[in-house]
Structure 1
Amino acid sequence: MTLRDVFEAVSGQPILLFLLLTAMPTGAFLVSLWSGETADEIWKWRYVYAVLVYFVCIPGIFAVTLNIYLFLFERQSIWDMNIAIQVLPILTMVGTLMLIRRKMPFTYIPGFGKLSSFLTLIAAVMGILWFIDRLHIYAITYVPFSYIVVGFVALLIIIRFAWNRIF
């Protein structure tokens, strides 16, 4: 089974996907109602918020990465977008994060910094790969492959360090 087969199977059942994805903002809304108004009551629910953030960000980040890949590398037309796979997870992620942010700052949610670091790493890798794809470099070189891998990892570390210093 390929990823295309999985996407076709999920697209064949859009109601199930819609119900699964809308369960997260609904859950965030219900948790925000149940968590109370005082800071101590809200603080007790931080791990529930963390679970909701991870459940909504993993498909959302995957959809963002898939869209970037399809539009930059595969040259997919915007008219060929699959709404259920490419748009709905992003809208669900944004909506859920907005609901959670109204109740609790992201700095208090355990592990949220790891998600933003992961997204930064994905963006850096996609940017580097897009840049390499645009250069159309086809060269035969005598440089050992291990040096190229070390250079790529060093470039990722520099990008990560620069991103942390900027933000």
Structure 2
Amino acid sequence: MTLRDIFEAVSGQPTLLFLLLTAVPSGAFLVNLWSGETADQIWKWRYVYSVLVYLACIPGIFAITLDIYLFLFERQSVWEMNLALQALPVFTMAITLILIRRKIPFNYIPGSGNISNFLILVAALMSLLWIVDRTRIFAIAYVPFTYVVVGFVALLLIIRFAWKRII
């Protein structure tokens, strides 16, 4: 079974996909109602918010990465975009994060920094792969592979440091 087969199977059940993806922002809305108004009441729900953030961000980040790959590397047309698989997860991620942000700052949610670090890593990796794909540089060198790995890790650290300085 390939990833294309999985996407075709999921696309065959758009109602189920829609229900699963809208359950997360609906859950965030309900938790916002139930968590109360005082800081102590909201603080007790921070792990539930953490689960909701992860449930929203994992499919959303995957969909963003898939969109970038399809548009930059595969040169897919916007007109051929599968809205259920490529746009709906990003939309539900945005709605969920907006709902949660209204109630509690992301600094207080456990593990929310890990998601932003993961997003930076994915963006840096996709950018590096796109640059390598577009420059068409083919080099045969006697450079040990460890130097290449060290250079890549250094590039990721520089990008992460720059991202944290920007934000």
Alignment of 1:112 with 2:112, yes or no, is yes
Identity of aligned residues (%): 74
Match of 1:123 in 2: 123
Provide the C-alpha distance between the structure 2 equivalents of 1:42 and 1:148, rounded to a whole number of angstroms.
47
Match of 1:141 in 2: 141
Aligned residues: 167
Match of 1:39 in 2: 39
State how 1:1-167 maps to structure 2 within 5 Å: 1-167=1-167
TM-score normalized by the length of structure 2: 0.97
User: One-letter code of the match for 2:100?
Assistant: I
Provide the C-alpha distance between the structure 2 equivalents of 1:47 and 1:120, rounded to a whole number of angstroms.
23
Specify every segment of 5 or more residues in structure 1 that has no aligned partner in the other structure, as ranges: none
Provide the C-alpha distance between the structure 2 equivalents of 1:125 and 1:146, rounded to a whole number of angstroms.
18
Provide the C-alpha distance between the structure 1 equivalents of 2:162 and 2:48, rounded to a whole number of angstroms.
32
Once superposed, what is the RMSD of the aligned Cα atoms?
Answer: 1.0
1:79-110 Cα deviation digits (max 9, x unpaired)? 01011100000000000111111111111110
Deviating beyond 6 angstroms after TM superposition, the runs of 4 or more aligned structure 1 residues are none
TM-score normalized by the length of structure 1: 0.97
Shift of 1:162: 2.1
Provide the C-alpha distance between the structure 2 equivalents of 1:145 and 1:83, rounded to a whole number of angstroms.
40
Specify every segment of 5 or more residues in structure 2 that has no aligned partner in the other structure, as ranges: none
